[in-house]
Amino acid sequence: MTTPSFPSRLPTVGTTIFAVMSQLAAEHGAVNLGQGFPDFACDPALVDAVTRAMQAGHNQYPPMPGVPQLRAAVAAKTEALHGRAYDADSEITVTAGATQAILTAILACVQPGDEVIVLEPCYDSYVPNIELAGGVVVRVPLTPGSFRPDFARIAAALTPRTRLLILNTPHNPSASVWSAAEMRQLEELLAPTNVLLISDEVYEHMVFDGQEHHSAARFPGLAERAFVVSSFGKTFHVTGWKVATVAAPAPLTAEFRKVHQFNVFTVNTPMQHGLAEYLRDSAHYLGLADFYQAKRDLFRAGLSGTRLKLLPSSGSYFQCVDYSAVSDLPEHAFCEWLIREIGVAGIPVSAFYGDGFEQRVIRLCFAKQDDTLRTALERLQRL
Render pLDDT for 310-350 as a digit per residue (tens, 0 to 9): 999 999 999 999 999 999 999 999 999 999 999 999 999 99
Whole-number Å distance between alpha carbons of 383 and 379: 8
273 in the same domain as 263: yes
21 in the same domain as 159: no
Closest CA to 109 of 208, 257, 262, 296: 257
pLDDT at 365: 98
Domain end residue (candidates: 254, 284, 314): 284
Please report whether residue 8 resides in a domain: no
Please report whether residue 2 resides in a domain: no
Q: What is the mean pLDDT of the chain?
A: 97
pTM of the model: 0.97
Bridging pattern class, strands 226-231 and 244-247 = antiparallel
295 in the same domain as 280: no
160 in the same domain as 34: no
127 in the same domain as 218: yes
Whole-number Å distance between alpha carbons of 166 and 128: 13
Which band of pLDDT confidence, cut at 50, 70 and 90, is reported for residue 249?
very high
Please report whether residue 242 resides in a domain: yes
Domain end residue (candidates: 284, 301, 317): 284
140 — phi, psi (to 5°)? -125, 120
Determine the 3-state secondary structure of 220 from DSSP: helix
Q: DSSP assignment, residue 349? A: G
pLDDT at 14: 84
pLDDT at 128: 97
The tally of domains found in the chain comes to: 2
How far is C-alpha 281 from the chain's CA centre?
24
Which structural domain, as residue segments, surrounds residue 63?
Answer: 44-284
pLDDT at 233: 97
Whole-number Å distance between alpha carbons of 199 and 197: 6
306 in the same domain as 275: no
pLDDT at 35: 87
CATH number, domain of 150, equals 3.40.640.10
Average pLDDT of the segment spanning 91-98: 98
For 47-67, the pLDDT digits (tens) are: 999 999 999 999 999 999 999
Which band of pLDDT confidence, cut at 50, 70 and 90, is reported for residue 203?
very high
174 in the same domain as 127: yes
Please report whether residue 139 resides in a domain: yes
Which band of pLDDT confidence, cut at 50, 70 and 90, is reported for residue 268?
very high
pLDDT at 15: 84
pLDDT at position 169 over 90: yes
pLDDT at 146: 94
66 in the same domain as 32: no
201 in the same domain as 94: yes
210 in the same domain as 132: yes
271 in the same domain as 295: no
Please report whether residue 1 resides in a domain: no
Q: Based on the number of CB atoms within 10 Å of its own CB, is 76 exposed (0-12), middle (13-18) or buried (19 or more)?
A: middle
Q: Angle of helix 370-380 relative to helix 288-303, nearest 10 degrees?
A: 20
* Exposure on the CB side of residue 13, measured as CA atoms within 13 A: 13
How far is it between the farthest Cα atoms of the chain?
64
Please report whether residue 52 resides in a domain: yes
184 in the same domain as 86: yes
pLDDT at 197: 98
pLDDT at position 1 over 90: no
Please report whether residue 6 resides in a domain: no
